[in-house]
Amino acid sequence: MTESRQRFYHLTTFGCQMNEHDSERIRGVLEEDGWMPAVEPDDADLLLFNTCSVRESAVSRLRGRLGEARRLKNEKPERLIGLAGCFAQNRKVEIFRDMPFLDLAFGPQNIADLPALLDSAESGSGQSGSFSDNDFLSAALPARRKIKYRAWVQAMTGCTNFCSYCVVPSVRGPERSRSARDIIEEVKRLVDDGVIEITILGQNVNSYGLDRDPGTADRVSFADLLMKLDAIEGLRRIRFMTSHPKDLGNDLVEAMRDLPKVCEHLHLPVQSGANRILDRMKRGYSREHYLELVENLYEQIPGVSLTTDIIVGFPGEKEEDFYRTMTLAAECQFDGAFTFMYSRRDGTAAADLPGRLPDATVKRRMHELVSLTQQIALVKNEAIIGEPVEVLIEGPSSRGDGLRGRTRQNKVVNYVAGASVKNKAEGCFTTVTIDSATSTTLKGRQACD
């Protein structure tokens, strides 16, 4: 390949918002190195996948896409195939042996090494990888954001909780917090660049700062970090995820209540409603503690929306345990729930637990839980009918007959814009009166500007 020819990459991202955010860095690093994005994989010289390992379903989807990538490489053998992210990191020992068609692979902490890996792959020196767990935070790298008015901001990396089912701590390393000063500077730069809404990312933002040296001047709690960010002029909305119930203090609830820019939405994964299962999951809290947190949230923050993650079919989950999850969901009145069937991950503590459940049982429970949580979400959304809500406009609605935006509570609103209304542009605020609701979206009319 000659140096002067323009080279194109195609990047596919699996997994959580951390990975989406890392993909912005991967694009930034590639584009600084002279690569251009290709619209279709067919047009790319480099097919890159930012992978997830959290459940087997993410890995199966990756395998499907890799089949297609191998076909494209057979058509044009100089095409490169690369894997980034958590699956690559998790399989670092055997990945090149198991996938001989791969040219390069690297972990979430090694995005900065991408140009060197590409040089080595292009010079024909064989498969090259980078998987060291260093202290480097990808936040320092250049990023290419797709949306001008909204941005993710990484407050911390890794996780030290070791929930018994989860691979994240072993692939992303221990929890490390960035300095508050760096985060604030990054947000100010983003705001100068047109950003009005940020989402602060961390696997467990409630323990932000605790890993930092108590002697450092800018070791602050997450609630204090929110207070500092709230003071940034020009910023309009602050979101964050994920919160862990074991570390959710009242200072954060008060910050959500009192700080005008912090949105009234909390994603608080419960995983199970049965203490027996929570213990086996090593979650570090009880059903009763979780219910107390929820009661306090509803009491202190009017109109707060609450979403959660739930795992069904954890090893040893009995019918009565599952029933306790159902009653907890009913008590908590979640605005939304991400429900997952337990997926056994090699190397996790739960992988060796007895009591694996038959697929049919897990599917039946999943089905019951999904119908309950959807029913609850619908009732909660219907309660907003008739109300005016503040919406940040995101673009045309998926049906194409109107516009789409999001409320402070993180609910998607599809609406018809009034003919005389000025505010129709992406990234602007408007007020919409809600006319109807489903379990996942609201529908309405633009009220005024």
The residue ranges that bind ligand F3S (CB under 6 A) are: 15-16, 18-19, 52-54, 85-86, 167-168, 171-172
Closest CA to 122 of 27, 23, 46: 46
Q: Provide the β-strand partners of residue 48.
A: 11, 82
Q: What is the pairing mode between strands 336-341 and 305-312?
A: parallel
Paired sense of beta strands 197-201 and 305-312, if any: unpaired
| Smallest separation (angstroms) from ligand SAH to the CB of 132 | 23
Cα separation, 291 vs 182, whole angstroms: 35
Q: Which is nearer to ligand F3S, 37 or 169 (CB)?
A: 169
| For the chain, the helix, strand and coil percentages under 3-state DSSP, each to the nearest 5 | 40, 20, 40
Which pair of tokens denotes residue 402?
A: 């109107």
| Contacts (CB under 6 A) with ligand SF4, residues 154-183 | 159, 161-163, 166, 168-169
Q: Which of residues 146-205 bind ligand SAH (CB under 6 A)?
A: 165-166, 168, 203-204
CA dist., res. 174 & res. 153, Å (int):
19
Q: Which of residues 30-69 bind ligand SAH (CB under 6 A)?
A: 54-55
- Which does residue 345 bind out of ligand F3S, ligand SF4, ligand SAH, none, counting CB within 5 to 8 angstroms by kind? ligand SAH
- The closest residue (CB) to ligand SAH is 309
Q: Which does 162 bind (CB under 5 to 8 A by kind): ligand SF4, ligand F3S, ligand SAH, none?
A: ligand SF4
Nearer to ligand F3S, 22 or 321 (CB): 22
Residue 164 half-sphere exposure, CB side, CA atoms within 13 Å? 15
Contacts (CB under 6 A) with ligand SF4, residues 233-292: 244
Contact region for ligand SAH (CB under 6 A) — 22-30, 125-133, 337-345, 366-374?
Answer: 337-345
Query: At how many degrees (to 10) do helices 222-230 and 180-192 cross?
Result: 30
- Smallest distance, ligand F3S to C-beta of residue 165, A: 12
Q: Which of 46, 88, 306, 311 binds ligand SAH (CB under 6 A)?
A: 311
From 8, 136, 298, 340, residue interacting with ligand SAH (rule: CB under 6 A):
340
- Residue closer to ligand F3S, measured from CB, 52 or 226: 52
Residue 132 contacts by C-beta under 8 Å, 6 or more apart in sequence?
Answer: 107, 109, 110
Give the list of residues 6+ apart from residue 236 with CB closer than 8 angstroms, or none. 196, 197, 261, 392, 429
Nearest to 26 by CA among 84, 69, 65: 84
User: What SS3 state is found at 426?
Assistant: coil
Q: State which of residues 309, 382, 390, 426 lies at the interface with ligand SAH (CB under 6 A).
A: 309
Regarding 7 and contact with ligand SAH (CB under 6 A), the answer is no
Q: How far is the CB of 158 from ligand F3S (least distance, A)?
A: 9
Task: Tell me which residue of 55, 57, 68 sits closest to 10, measured CA to CA.
Answer: 68
Shortest distance in whole angstroms from residue 244 CB to ligand SF4: 5
Q: Which residues bind ligand SAH (CB under 6 A)?
A: 54-55, 165-166, 168, 203-204, 242, 244, 269, 271, 309, 311, 340, 342-343, 345
Q: Which residues bind ligand SF4 (CB under 6 A)?
A: 159, 161-163, 166, 168-169, 203-204, 244
